[in-house]
Amino acid sequence: MSPSTLPALATESPGRVLLVDDEPAFQRLGGAFLRNLGQEVTVAGDADQALEAFATVRPELVLLDLAMPPSMDPEQGLALIARFAGVPVVVLTGHADHELALRAADLGAWDFLPKPIDPDLLRFVVTRALRKHRLDQELQQLRQQQGEEAMGLLGQAPVMQSLRAMIRRVAPTQVNVLVLGPTGTGKELVARALHEHGRQPTAPFVPVHCGALSAELLESELFGHLKGSFTGAYRDQPGLVEVARGGTLFLDEVGEMPAAMQVKLLRFLQEGSFMPVGGRALRTSEVRVVAATHRDLEAMVRTGDFREDLYYRLKGVVLRTPALAERRPDVPLLAARFAQMRGVGISSSAMAWLGACDWPGNVRELKAVVEAAAALLLPGQSDLDAEVLALAAGVDLGPASALPGHGSGAGSAVGAVGEPGGLLDAALTELERRLISEAMQASGGNQSEAARRLGVSRVGLIKKLGRLGLK
């Protein structure tokens, strides 16, 4: 084989090839040929060198001679195939033995080349094997991303990888789970992922907010009531523990549950039985309970605000959702996904701006700002830039101190999403002011022309000018 037999191969990027052969001449010529194809080549002369190189280089392809020293027995080479798991192995041998080739394939070899090796065939096999490996890697990444999306828990930060791994381990069991973490970190997403990856994913998933109702209403909501049990009870109403039968009951913000209800919930968790409001006979329902809260339940137990026995009943397995500050490298990934959901992109400057923010409201806050910015894009704009994001966040883009969480009042401005007079109203007002100012400037101060450009009446424009202080 001559290294100059064929021209260099144009590939997307060099492949890492491990050539395992004890013949110095083949090491030299084969290595030179592969390098001329544009590959990065590591050579090993025996099994020990091959395993060491595999561990350090992490090749994308192994070319393996089956006759390895010291024994030169092909069985030794066959035994190595399993040690190179995860990458294609092309077996090389001077013995054109059909049976040996079949055994190598059974053990996981991807292809088989007899010596003397044809250069054209070697180039073809190497190129195809590297492409296969890279396609397999891409497929694995896509499957991983699909798994993350199926959970609704995107992110590559170690804390997120650990969280998803724990969900996969816990989901098939029936143990109760307590999800702890700051607001806006996706505790309900964790609960849904536990349900959807559990034993009964088609069974009901029933959420209930424990702090949104009084003790009396929460009891009726959870355990149901009978007709005539109280004013307005015109018919029997099943409780959510019955609705969730066979599935998952998600107790959101369980730390807000009134003390009177904690006792009744404890009995249900202990015995699986409950009494509807106005009822005289116990009923049963088998559900998996996932509870979540942003509060420190252990501190509440110490102060007597939460029952200790209920806490330990809920605390089967504890999962923690991290604050966005603990997974800052995930911000661009999350922002890009939220923008994609709105059919827009994000510029590099916008990504840099987003990465500089503290996001005290966590993922929920980031999502709200990206969605608000997408709504504020002008016609013809397809990408979010730092300016429109800052506008949506209700902060001044000028000084660095005005970034969310970095300046006085900035964090609270961003955190006002959904509140009356919050950032969306402010952003819309600012956008209206900017559009009117640009129209007035373009029309040379002619109100009639500016109104025509804006698609409003002249009287309407005059009113807006007065309201916005632009007269």
Give residue 170's pLDDT: 95
Which residues have a Cβ under 8 Å from the Cβ of 269 and sit 6 or more positions away? Answer: 176, 289, 310, 313, 314
- The enclosing H or E element of 237 equals strand 237-238
Kindly state whether residues 290 and 234 are assigned to the same domain.
yes
Assess whether 211 and 251 both reside in one domain. yes
Task: For 154-168, write each residue's pLDDT tens digit.
Answer: 888 899 989 999 999
Host H or E run for residue 111: strand 111-114
With respect to residue 10, please indicate whether it lies within any of the assigned structural domains: no
Average pLDDT over residues 445-469: 75
Domain membership flag for residue 6: no
Same-domain pairing of 315 and 338: no
Share of the chain above pLDDT 90, in %: 32
pLDDT digits (tens, 9 = 90+) for 209-260: 998 888 888 998 999 889 888 887 788 888 899 999 999 999 999 999 999 8
Q: Is residue 4 part of a domain?
A: no
Residue corresponding to tokens 């959420």:
207
At CA 462, angle to CA 458 and CA 463, rounded to 5?
120
Domain span at 400: 326-467
> pTM for this one?
0.58
148 lies in a domain?
Answer: no
Residue 166 and residue 113 share a domain: no
Q: pLDDT for 3-13, tens place per residue?
A: 444 334 434 57
Q: State pLDDT tens for residues 8-47.
A: 443 457 889 999 888 888 888 888 998 988 889 999 888 8
One-character DSSP codes across 81-95: HGGGTTS-EEEEESS
**Segment 125-140, tens digit of pLDDT:** 898 888 888 887 776 6
**For residues 63 and 92, is the Cβ–Cβ distance under 8 A?**
yes
In a domain, 153, yes or no: no
CA distance readout (Å), 418 to 75, 421, 423, 425, 426: 69, 8, 8, 9, 12
Note whether 289 and 354 are same-domain residues. no
CA distance 73 to 397: 71
Task: Decide which of 103, 138, 173 is a domain's last residue.
Answer: 138
Q: Above 60 in pLDDT, residue 83? A: yes
**Do residues 201 and 303 share a domain?**
yes
pLDDT band at 295 (very low <50, low <70, confident <90, very high): very high
Same domain, 294 and 340: no
Specify if 145 maps to a domain: no
- On whether both 297 and 388 belong to a single domain, the answer is no
Q: Is residue 265 part of a domain?
A: yes
pLDDT reading at 80 higher than 90: no
Predicted confidence at residue 424, as pLDDT, reads 46
CATH code for position 381: 1.10.8.60
- Say what the pLDDT of residue 13 is: 73
Give the residue, 310 or 446, on which the prediction is more confident: 310
Residue 8 is assigned to a structural domain of this protein: no
Q: What is the pLDDT of residue 141?
A: 60
Domain C-terminal end among 269, 285, 320 = 320
The pLDDT confidence band at residue 464, using thresholds 50, 70 and 90, is confident
For the chain, the average pLDDT equals 82
The structural domain count of the chain equals 3
Judge contact between 179 and 139, C-beta under 8 A.
no
Q: What is the pLDDT of residue 167?
A: 94
Say whether pLDDT at 442 is over 50.
yes
Region 447-468 average pLDDT: 75
Residues 432 and 362 in one domain: yes
User: Is residue 157 a contact partner of residue 184, using CB atoms and an 8 Å limit?
Assistant: no
CATH, residue 94: 3.40.50.2300
Residue 97, pLDDT score: 66
* CATH code, 282: 3.40.50.300
Cis preceding-peptide flag for 74 (omega within 30 of 0): no
Q: How far apart are the first and last CA of the chain?
A: 85
| Beta strands in 281-323, from DSSP E residues, in sequence order | 283-284, 288-293, 317-320
Nearest CA to 129 out of 111, 113, 115, 116 is that of 111
* 94 vs 315: which has the higher pLDDT: 315
383-433 per-position pLDDT tens digit: 998 889 988 888 765 544 344 444 333 343 343 333 433 444 555 566 677
Same domain, 291 and 176: yes
Residue ending a domain, among 285, 320, 355, is: 320
- pLDDT for residue 8: 40
Same domain, 191 and 261: yes
User: How would residue 72 be classed by pLDDT, with cut points 50, 70 and 90?
Assistant: low
What integer is the mean pLDDT of 437-445?
Answer: 80
199 and 110, same domain (yes or no)? no
d(CA 400, CA 430): 20
The more confident residue out of 364 and 418 is 364
